[in-house]
Amino acid sequence: MRETGKQLLYSAKKCIGCQACTVCKHDVHTFNGFEHEIDREKCVKCGECETACPTSAVQICGREMTVSEIIKEIEKDAAFYGEHGGVTLSGGEPFLQENTVKLLLACKERGINTAVETCGFYAVTAAVPYVDLFLWDIKDTDDERHKKYTGVSNKRIIENLIKADAAGAKTRLRCILVNGVNADETHYKNVADIKSKLKNCTGADVLPYHAFGGAKAELTGQPDTSDKSMIPDEKQIGLFKSYL
């Protein structure tokens, strides 16, 4: 599981070695000559280094906001929404945040269309009345593989999907395609089966794996696990699409 709270981001490219970040009272930032060393374990995400850093090489990613603060942000773009436009909650996983349903309700009260990208692991029934479209991840229909790559079983995800559908949720399936992992026709067929059982599903999109995660991993100090060999080819993508 990834962290759900704030994260300390560091971009070596932007760092000019000015050492302003050593303002930190917890000794997260130390300099060994020009080498900027970061001890993330000690970081309490107070943001003092972020304020001091002139180049924004050090940033605290994540901000606590109230529902009304978020609504204010969303409404800034209200002039652009028209009849079809609106807000898409994304993440991470929006339903990990406890006030997501409140936020969705507040949007609907203001006539703002809502969409939510979800991994489907958490119960969404309470949100269904306030969501115009769920963009629902179906990562893998093979449960063993699902466990291996995501750490959890897919049973709950599929059950949640069926329940949400029964409650009237409009969904669109988002299916990641990873070469060497789930690029097989049994999986394609299973997704098509799930789709055919849904009454309110508007379609399914194939999302080919990409290796752009490396940049983010670098910023958060995590190992880069992205792997270009996992990018599917056009033929695989076409075949998957043909099932959907």
Partner 1 sequence: MEFSSVNGIKRPVRLSEATRRFACESLGHKYGLMTKETMSVSLDEIEGFESFTPIQKYDAAIMKIASEAPVRICDGELISGAATLGTAISHQIPATYNGKPVFMSLSHLTADFETVVFKGVGYIRANAEAAYEKYKGTGKEEFAKSCLVCLDAFDIWHKRYLEALKDKGCTDNYNNLCNVPYKPAASFYEAVQSIWFVFAFLRLCGNWPGIGRIDKFLAPFYKADIEKGILTEKRAREILAHFFIKGCEWICGGNYGSGDAQHYQNLVISGVDEDGVDITNPVTYLILDIIEELGISDFPTTVRLNKNSSDRLLYRVAEVMRLGGGVLAVYDEDNVIKAMTEYGYDICEARRFANDGCWEVQVPGKTNFCYIPTDFLQILQKNTLKNYDKSVLFDGFDALYNAYLADVKAFCEGLLSSVLQNNMLKCEDGIWVWRKNIPCTVISLFEQDCVGRGLSYLEGGAVYNVISPHVGGLADTVNSLYAIKKLVFDDKKIGFADLMRVLSENWENCEALRQYALNKYEYYGNDNDEADEICRRFLSDFADICDSLNGRSGYIFPGGVSTFGRQLEWSPQRLACASGRKRGEILAANASPTPGTDRQGATAIIRSYCKNELHKLPVGAALDIRLLPSCTKGDEGLEALVSLLRGFVNLGGFFMQPDVADAEILKAAQDKPEDYQNLSVRVSGWNARFVTLNKEWQDMVIQQNECGCGY
DSSP run (H or E) holding 164? helix 155-166
User: Is there a contact between 34 and 65 (Cβ–Cβ < 8 Å)?
Assistant: no
Q: 76-85, long-range: CB within 8 Å, 24+ apart, which pairs? A: 78/112, 81/112, 81/113, 84/113, 85/113
Residues constituting the chain: 244
Residue type at position 38: I
Which of 76/235 has CB closer to partner 1? 76
Cα separation, 198 vs 211, whole angstroms = 31
User: Should residue 84 be labelled a site residue for partner 1 when binding is judged by CB under 8 A?
Assistant: yes
Mark the segment that binds partner 1 (CB under 8 A) among 49-57, 117-125, 134-142, 227-235.
49-57
Q: Binding string, 85-104, against partner 1, x = CB under 8 A?
A: x-------------------
Q: Which of 12, 16, 23, 123 binds partner 1 (CB under 8 A)?
A: 16
Q: Which of 6, 11, 20, 170 binds partner 1 (CB under 8 A)?
A: 20
Which of 83/98 has CB closer to partner 1? 83
The site for partner 1 (CB under 8 A) is made up of 16, 18, 20, 54-56, 76-77, 79-82, 84-85
